[in-house]
Amino acid sequence: MKEEWKADITNDPNDDYNLVIDLKQNKNHIGRLYIHNEELFLRLYSSSKHIDVPAKWLENILKGAEEELMSCRKED
């Protein structure tokens, strides 16, 4: 079975509905990119097995994530 990787932009109801990017591997939610204090963070969720994230795929996601998420932040 071929690995399927997706990055979906969504709102975080726990953070004033600001935009985040959810990372999925074969439909499993494995992580999230989000902005906190004007900085981009990658949160990986615990798993009982290793998850090997393709570097080129992640690099492509990260290239636009900070700018895209930051530009959509709600004014406080």
Average pLDDT on 34-51 reads 86
For the chain, helix, strand, coil in percent to 5 are: 20, 40, 35
Average pLDDT on 34-50 reads 86
Cα–Cα dist 32/40, whole Å: 10
Residue 68 is encoded by which pair of tokens?
């895209």
Model pTM score: 0.78
Mode of pairing for the β-strands spanning 28-36 and 39-44: antiparallel
**If pLDDT is split at 50, 70 and 90, which confidence band does 76 have?**
very low
Mode of pairing for the β-strands spanning 5-12 and 18-25: antiparallel
- pLDDT at res. 75: 54
